């Protein structure tokens, strides 16, 4: 964010547009004129809807109803007694706690491996990144097909090794991990690219010095690479957490009728919000759930901005 | 010693190779299934015995896939043009034009990044119903016409432009808009390209808001059409895979062409 203050100072002898000068005022007028539409957009499409959602969460707001009575905190009280909400909240934490570390670890391993080979680096980067650009709905169905209990490719392969057919997406205990695996598969390449950039910034002289001192590969990783890419790890962790808190389309395509089953075992917070608002049309109630999600994400974003403004120098 | 290092390198390269085959395998399987006649899909060979495009033909007959493709294309293109122009204009103003309140404007725009889409969809939907724009291109596209992220990105790059360049343009008689359009914009072309590709892909794959705001089958975008079509035909995987391939393959081609810009864009935006 240092860029905000990185305006080069005007060269001596040249006259910059001084505050109060005609040019300064003309340029400011032009700026406000050009900004008026975008600012209106941010006001109407982002800011007011946010406040409106907060307001709706205090009302019994159903889209077809004539009146929307004020209910105070009743929606929030109901939320934390609603087994459906609590289950989706718990599931969402499973997505975050299993998915984020897995994606980061695999992304880092692949980045380290790509950095250590000296041929086809670009090709590997391309292949691992590929899933990231594709539609999660489309690839969700591809995984669904491969994970099908009868005749699915994965079970057929397991069969060759003598392992009995698994239910996968049909099992209340396995389904969530199958979906996490698909999300990790899609997001791994993103983490890899971020880590590759982080690794590139580590000066090679550090490794050369360590090699002269006879440090092992593990010691070099543990005492040079890891501390120096720590900011990258924290950044990826927070971005990843926000992403996994918002899982929706993967569950929509990989659970039966997009309902977050079996038995609600894969339902996420966002799927809960979608169902309450657009299937049951309880918009006030769903808004209360979005406020909960908003608070969690805001906390993480603030944490992130503190972390990335405190970048290390080396 | 040298031998040892070489063996280790070879091992790593082998692991990378196996990993990348596993990574792209679902795409190969998708294409393979989509080319198999229904009777053959439980046959495990990757290369179909009797490859056929019949599934694609049936797909286009059973559902308006071409219309969905067109809808996705129009929404993604329109949004990308809007973002490319407005985000760079705002980014330029915030970086290069001095006026009172500039930091406040920037702060306001930036702070909207932490508002999750999920919180906005309910008010957006209520508002769209009131304005009668549900089930229209405008309804699908309006939330993405300007993005805080793009403004942030373009502002970073515009700030790096030398002021002398702009002063020279002013000497040549360019107006304020001319300075932006003729000088600033052409000089940040790589960043603009990255922004365009991201915006296009993001809108091409968008699902949550489109599935809410679209009612009629003819207005669906590809992911929405595909999701609903697949539920109706969930036991005909040769059809579903053909549908998935139509959504995925154009993106893979775009990515293959622009991969350098995309990866560079992620690196620049992800780390700054």
For B223, which residue in chain A has the nearest alpha carbon? Answer: A137
In the structure encoding, which two tokens stand for residue A211, read together?
């090699």
Q: Which two tokens stand for residue B112?
A: 């909207």
The pLDDT of residue A293 is above 60: yes
User: pLDDT grade, residue B106 (50/70/90)?
Assistant: very high
Distances, alpha carbon A107 to alpha carbons A4, A236, B8, in Å: 32, 10, 20
Average of per-residue pLDDT across A90-98: 96
Residues of A in Cβ contact (< 8 Å) with B248: 134-135, 138-139
- Calculate what percentage of chain A has a pLDDT beyond 90: 61
> What is the distance between the alpha carbons of residues B190 and B262, in angstroms, rounded to a whole number?
10
The whole-angstrom distance between A297's CA and the closest CA on chain B is: 7
Whole-angstrom distance, CA of residue B91 vs CA of residue B82: 14
pTM score, whole prediction? 0.90
* Distance between CA atoms of residues A256 and A250, nearest Å: 12
Question: How far apart are the C-alpha atoms of B141 and B156, rounded to whole Å?
Answer: 26
Burial of A4 (0-12, 13-18, 19+ CB in 10 A): middle
| Of B151, B64, B76, B63, residue with least CA distance to B112 | B151
Percent helix / strand / coil, chain B, rounded to 5: 80, 0, 20
A290 phi and psi angles, rounded to 5 deg? -70, -35
**CB B239 within 8 Å of CB B233:** yes
**Per-residue pLDDT band at B11 (split at 50, 70, 90):** confident
Distance to chain B for A140, nearest Cα, Å = 9
Distances (CA, A) of A212 to A82, A204, A219, B4: 62, 13, 13, 18
A to B CB pairs, distance under 8 Å: 264
Q: What is the mean pLDDT of residues A269-298?
A: 94
Among A38, A41, A301, select the one facing B114 at the smallest CB separation.
Answer: A301
Q: Are B250 and B232 in contact (CB under 8 A)?
A: no
Tokens, residue A36: 């008026």
As to burial, measured by CB atoms within 10 angstroms (0-12 exposed, 13-18 middle, 19+ buried), residue A198 is buried
Contact check, Cβ <8 Å, A291/B30: no
Its sign, for the CA torsion B215, B221, B227, B232, is positive
Encoding tokens for residue A143? 């995984």
Rounded distance, CA B220 to CA B202, Å?
16
The partner residues of A70 in beta bridges, in order of sequence, read A59
Nearest to B116 by CA among B209, B205, B213: B209
pLDDT of residue A308: 58
> What is the DSSP-derived secondary structure letter of residue B30?
H
Give the model confidence (pLDDT) of B145-196 as tens digits. 999 989 998 998 999 899 999 999 989 989 889 999 999 999 998 889 888 9
State pLDDT tens for residues A201-248: 888 888 888 888 888 888 888 888 888 888 888 888 988 999 999 999
Rounded to the nearest angstrom, the minimum Cα separation between B49 and chain A is: 17
> Over the range A279-305, which residues count as b (16 or more CB within 10 Å of their CB) and which as e?
eeebbbbbbbbbbbbbebbeebbeebe
Q: What SS3 string covers A102-115?
A: HHHHHHHHHHHHHH
Query: pLDDT digit string (tens) for A6-61?
Result: 444 444 444 455 666 888 888 899 999 999 999 999 999 999 999 999 999 999 98
Q: Which residue of B has its CA nearest to A109?
A: B16
């Amino acid at each position: 964010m240092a860029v905000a203050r990185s305006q080069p100072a005007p060269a001596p002898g040249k006259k910059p547009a001084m505050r109060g000068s005609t040019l300064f005022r003309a340029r400011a007028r032009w700026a406000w004129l050009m900004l008026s539409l975008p600012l209106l957009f941010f006001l109407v499409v982002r800011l007011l809807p946010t406040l409106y959602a907060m307001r709706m969460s205090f009302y019994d707001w159903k889209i077809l109803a004539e009146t929307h009575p004020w209910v105070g905190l009743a929606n929030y009280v109901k939320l934390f007694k609603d087994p459906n909400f609590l289950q989706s909240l718990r599931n969402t934490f499973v997505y975050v706690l299993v998915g984020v570390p897995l994606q980061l670890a695999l992304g880092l391993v692949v980045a380290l491996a790509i950095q250590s080979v000296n041929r086809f680096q670009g090709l590997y980067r391309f292949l691992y990144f590929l899933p990231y650009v594709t539609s999660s709905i489309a690839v969700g169905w591809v995984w669904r097909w491969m994970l099908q209990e009868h005749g699915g490719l994965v079970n057929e392969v397991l069969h060759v090794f003598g392992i009995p057919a698994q239910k996968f997406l049909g099992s209340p205990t396995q389904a969530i991990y199958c979906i996490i695996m698909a999300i990790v598969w899609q997001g791994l390449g993103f983490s890899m690219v971020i880590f590759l950039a982080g690794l590139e910034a580590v000066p090679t002289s550090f490794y050369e010095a360590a090699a002269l001192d006879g440090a092992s590969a593990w010691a070099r990783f543990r005492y040079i690479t890891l501390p120096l890419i720590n900011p990258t790890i924290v950044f990826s962790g927070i971005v990843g957490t926000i992403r996994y808190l918002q899982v929706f389309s993967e569950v929509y395509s990989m659970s039966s009728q997009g309902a977050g089953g079996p038995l609600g075992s894969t339902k996420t917070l966002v799927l809960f919000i979608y169902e309450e608002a657009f299937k049951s049309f309880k918009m006030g109630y769903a808004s209360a759930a979005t406020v909960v999600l908003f608070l969690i994400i805001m906390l993480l974003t603030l944490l992130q901005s503190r972390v990335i403004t405190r970048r290390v120098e080396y | 010693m040298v031998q040892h290092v070489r063996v280790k390198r070879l091992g790593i390269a082998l692991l990378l190779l196996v990993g990348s085959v596993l990574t792209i395998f679902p795409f190969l399987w998708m294409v393979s299934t989509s080319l198999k006649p229904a009777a053959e899909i439980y046959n495990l060979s990757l290369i179909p015995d009797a490859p056929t495009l019949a599934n694609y033909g049936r797909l286009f007959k059973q559902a308006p896939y071409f219309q969905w493709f067109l809808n996705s294309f129009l929404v993604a293109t329109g949004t990308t043009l809007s973002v490319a122009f407005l985000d760079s204009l705002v980014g330029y103003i915030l970086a290069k034009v001095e006026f009172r309140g500039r930091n406040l404007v920037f702060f306001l725009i930036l702070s909207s990044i932490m508002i999750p889409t999920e919180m906005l969809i309910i008010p957006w939907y209520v508002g769209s119903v009131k304005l009668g724009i549900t089930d229209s291109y405008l309804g699908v596209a309006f939330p993405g016409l300007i993005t805080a992220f793009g403004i942030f990105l373009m502002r970073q790059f515009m700030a790096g432009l030398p002021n002398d360049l702009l002063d020279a343009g002013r000497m040549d008689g360019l107006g304020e808009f001319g300075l932006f359009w003729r000088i600033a914009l052409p000089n940040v072309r790589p960043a603009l390209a990255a922004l365009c590709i991201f915006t296009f892909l993001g809108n091409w794959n968008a699902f949550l808001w489109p599935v809410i705001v679209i009612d009629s089958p003819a207005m669906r975008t590809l992911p929405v059409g595909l999701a609903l079509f697949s539920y109706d035909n969930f036991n005909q995987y040769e059809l579903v895979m053909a549908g998935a391939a139509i959504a995925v393959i154009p993106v893979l081609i775009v990515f293959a062409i622009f991969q350098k810009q995309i990866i560079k864009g992620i690196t620049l935006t992800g780390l700054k």
